[in-house]
Chains A and B, each alone.
Chain A
């Protein structure tokens, strides 16, 4: 298969009055056509910022993309101009956001918001664009789409608005959809519907999906491959089944331990990870997870392990220790 998007050594900084925030510190990953990649990690670990950087959507200043490349079908997105990016966004790579309550413009009808990108990118006339918008709304499961085109966002519920957002994102038939925690603001039953919807559409139109989340339950249901991020680094990447069965990074292991499971005894307490993530105001000298890690060795304190392959099957970790034996690898 062909790499649809290949990100290499991407670095994003924010220059704030408190100092420079190292939000993304040289991450590299790739995604194939039609593949679903989940990006997990706790709040502030750089999941959203790395994706926004790829689309050049971070505010500059205070933000700065300090280095790296993002090759989309062989073209580097990082060096493109704003005009060129307008052609990419929406048409090639679309993005949906966390909070459907604020992601739609409150004073424009949803019909207008969906047809807008069709008219700018595909040069459709109003009539054709409206026809397409009705198809899209129907595809994302909005009943009576003809009559709802003229409705305003406040006339929709949260789950419905997220469906509208998805319809907007899909309007121009992108090859890659970046979903930034699209289910976080919704309740559980609606979450399941949205996950199911995106999976169905992905299979229909053979679109690649990057799904940002901190919900490992959702990941298992949707993803082919997983990236685990911590403090602006990718610490582990693996096929989804491999990751759950055989986590090789101490952080991934700890995350999975912290997850409630139906097949475990109920009186067992969930394990938490002691401590807090490091401040991003300075580049860590050693491994960013070192001071919370139960496998920590001397080497972790002064040398940050690079992401290196272990075993087969695309499984890579950034750790000096083999967690299965507890000895350095």
Chain B
């Protein structure tokens, strides 16, 4: 092929030399090779577009509008996903419910990550009595079944916070409660991961070198050691989003979560269990969306784990 050879010949040395790839670029390269993770990323993006873009076409008022004469309609052109037991449009509710579910997933993980990093970092870095106290608390929390904690806390705190307005929308105060509850009951695994990271990283010579230049402990923890343990934290946080969405679905299914009329995928299932056979569209669509979200986030986390692992040499 003569064309190809001329193409190579005209390359200047500058063009031939590839600039060094940053760590992020290398990770992105490895991530792109991970097929399930790429599928997960695409599906998740579509779900986000569905939940956010959908609100352009259908108003929240429509999602919460109930007309009992229109109850339990099978999917038609007017109501592509059918209507629920009090005549609300399921399609519109999955859109607004999706926003809340994703929001809860993300913010609960923020709470979880902050708590997990704080507890894990302090325990791992200081060791000794600090480590002992923090880890015993962590273990105590782990010993209580999570669903039990969720139910008790949801029952105790639920309904105590008034409604609030954010982004021009009215949220049931229970959204905030649920976010805090999920965050407060799920930081333990992350704390253990971070602690293990800190225990091994703090023995590194660069930590000694940082101390020898007079770096305060707080900077050593957050500016030197923490950036080195970003990979497992990112992976764990990603998977945490899936777990938070599932946790929200559990408690909402039990009627203790986000209170109607605010929709979430979880509380849409709550009403559906009485109509398992007579109106399958009630549980099928929110259930499918939860399934797709959790599955794609798990694939994504899996890909991130491989991509961010410094020992994986495949480029």
Contact = CB atoms under 8 A, between A and B. Distances in A.
Interface in A138-172: 152, 155, 165, 168-169, 171-172
Given A96-B212, A97-B212, A108-B223, 18 more contacts: A90-B213, A90-B214, A94-B212, A95-B209, A97-B208, A97-B209, A102-B204, A102-B205, A103-B205, A103-B208, A108-B227, A116-B210, A116-B219, A121-B214, A155-B20, A165-B209, A168-B209, A169-B212
Contact of A107 (B209, B214, B215, B228): B228
A180 B33 CA distance: 44
Contact of A169 (B20, B213, B215, B230): B213
B212 A90 contact: yes
Interface residues on B, range: 20 to 34
Interface stretch (A16-24, A81-89, A249-257, A270-278): A81-89
A168 B214 CA distance: 11
A120 B215 contact: yes
Contact of B212 (A57, A99, A108): A57
Nearest to B226: A107
A102 B206 contact: yes
A321 interface: no
A96 B213 CA distance: 9
B205 A107 contact: no
Interface in A201-257: none
A207 to B, nearest CB: 15
Interface in B211-237: 211-217, 219, 223-224, 227-228, 230
Nearest to B212: A95
A136 to B, nearest CB: 13
Interface of B is mostly: helix
Contacts, number: 80
B56 interface: no
A55 interface: yes
A296 to B, nearest CB: 39
Interface of A: 55, 57, 61, 82, 85-91, 94-99, 102-108, 116-117, 120-121, 152, 155, 165, 168-169, 171-172
A89 B205 contact: no
A156 to B, nearest CB: 11
B205 A120 contact: no
Contact of B214 (A96, A97, A120): A120
Interface string B113-148: 000000000000000100000000000000000000
Contact of B224 (A89, A95, A105): A105
A168 B205 CA distance: 15
B16 interface: no
Contacts of B11: none
Contacts of A171: 213
B143 to A, nearest CB: 30
Interface of B: 20, 22-23, 128, 204-206, 208-217, 219, 223-224, 227-228, 230
A94 B209 contact: no
Nearest to B202: A59
Contact of B216 (A61, A86, A105): A86
20 contacts: A55-B212, A57-B212, A86-B215, A89-B211, A89-B213, A90-B213, A94-B212, A94-B213, A95-B209, A97-B205, A99-B205, A102-B206, A106-B228, A107-B23, A107-B230, A117-B215, A120-B214, A120-B219, A121-B214, A172-B214
Contacts of A85: 214
Nearest to B203: A59
Contacts of A99: 205
A88 B208 contact: no
Contact of A57 (B23, B204, B208, B230): B208
Given A97-B208, A102-B205, A117 B224 contact: no
A89 B220 CA distance: 14
A168 to B, nearest CB: 6
Contacts of B219: 116, 120
A155 B224 CA distance: 19
Contacts of A169: 212-213
Contact of A117 (B20, B23, B128, B214): B214
